[in-house]
Amino acid sequence: MEKLTAYFAAHPNTQKASFISIIVCCLFPFVSAPIALVLGFLAIQFIGNPYEVATKKLIHTLLQASVIGLGFGMNTNSALQAGKEGFIFSFVSIISVLTLGYLVTRFFKIEKITGYLISAGTAICGGSAIAAISPIVKAKPHQISIALAVVFTLNSIALLAFPVIGSLLHLSQHDFGLWCAIAIHDTSSVVGAASKYGNEALEVATTVKLARALWIIPLSLFSVMTFKNKEAKIKIPWFIALFIVSMILNTYFPIIHHLSPLIVKISKIGLTITLFLIGASLSFKVLRNVGIKPLLLALLLWISISIGSLLVIVK
């Protein structure tokens, strides 16, 4: 593997062409979201990522645009119902994860900010929450990198494992969508796993997850008070408002229905490419630098919220 990586590093044009070729493959229906994630992970191990800086910027933009586009395949009324159902569930799970994260961080003697970022990412919406909270708590680059690495790693596992577990447990589309929204950290993996399971699961998961993402705002306010940083600016996830607009247009303006299937199809392709790029940011080098304690913290939080939420849903 090292010889192959060295070859591509010595031939940048070949490296770029190979990397782009795999992205092109993600445009075709036979490459699902989980497969795209695995392809990205394999690509960075054997080929490398010649667009590493651009990839980090593109992931969030492409994800947000894809989520907005998926709104054109959803109905406002059913989305509101799913959002109401998930509100209390989200609140209880967020408080539980943050509390458990605080206790485990102290027990393992993990850096306070690193533990807080991992807890926030697990509790709300993965990378988006970490990005929003980092400047407020004055996180250092290595603390942000560790939090993102462990959260994205567990997201990747969840994207592959959850559809299989859901099928084995014979979860309904609705229950699986709700489980994804509560138990998987990042929006990209939530949408990817739910889209693999079915359209109803996708609608429930996306709606509940985006409603959950709004908790970034109160968490940011809490972080300002806790870390006593009154100069910090709170980031509001405005793309969620555009997602709601796209749902309203699809529900109440029939003329949109002619374009909706095409927009949704393009958005799903965008999501697939997003997951490929996420996979292409998870090298073994990054994972080795994480350390065992932060990984144990993230794993414990993830297992707790996954099992706990599943037990509530199937009771």
Query: Over the stretch 141-168, which tens digit does the pLDDT of each residue have?
Result: 778 878 888 888 888 889 889 999 999 9
Residue 42 lies in a domain: no
Task: Kindly tell me if the per-residue pLDDT of 169 is higher than 70.
Answer: yes
**DSSP assigned state of 228:** T
On whether the CB atoms of residues 222 and 47 are closer than 8 A, the answer is no
On whether the CB atoms of residues 314 and 171 are closer than 8 A, the answer is yes
On whether the CB atoms of residues 87 and 208 are closer than 8 A, the answer is no
Residue 18 lies in a domain: no
Residue 27 lies in a domain: no
Residues 136, 144: Cα–Cα separation, whole Å: 12
Averaged over 50-54, what is the pLDDT? 83
Give SS3 for 289.
Answer: coil
Helix axes 260-279, 12-25, angle to 10 degrees: 140
**HSE of 99, CA atoms in CB hemisphere, 13 A:** 8
On whether the CB atoms of residues 30 and 40 are closer than 8 A, the answer is no
User: Can you tell me which residue has the tokens 């693999």?
Assistant: 196
Residue 81 lies in a domain: yes
On whether the CB atoms of residues 194 and 209 are closer than 8 A, the answer is no
Task: Kindly tell me if the per-residue pLDDT of 97 is higher than 90.
Answer: yes
Chain segment 174-222, per-residue pLDDT in tens: 999 999 999 998 888 898 899 889 888 988 888 888 888 878 888 888 8
Residue 302 lies in a domain: yes
Residue 251 lies in a domain: yes
pTM: 0.79
Q: Which of 55, 60, 28, 58 has the alpha carbon at shortest distance from 43?
A: 55
Task: Kindly tell me if the per-residue pLDDT of 5 is higher than 80.
Answer: no
* Domain count across the chain: 1
> Whole domain around residue 283: which residue ranges?
54-314
Chain segment 116-137, per-residue pLDDT in tens: 999 998 988 877 788 888 888 8
Other CB atoms closer than 10 Å to residue 281's CB: what's the count? 18
Structure tokens at 166: 């859901």
User: Can you tell me which residue has the tokens 């990839």?
Assistant: 55
Residue 71 lies in a domain: yes
Question: What residue spans of 49-198 are helical by DSSP H?
Answer: 52-70, 76-108, 112-123, 127-133, 141-168, 173-183, 187-197
Residue 25 lies in a domain: no
Q: How confident is the model at residue 83 (pLDDT cuts 50, 70, 90)?
A: low
Q: What is the pLDDT of residue 3?
A: 67
Chain segment 102-121, per-residue pLDDT in tens: 999 999 998 899 999 999 98
Task: Decide: residue 108, CB within 10 A, 0-12 exposed, 13-18 middle, 19+ buried.
Answer: middle
Q: What is the pLDDT of residue 238?
A: 78
Task: Please state whether 170 falls in left (phi above 0), alpha (psi between -120 and 50) or beta.
Answer: left
Residues 144, 272: Cα–Cα separation, whole Å: 25
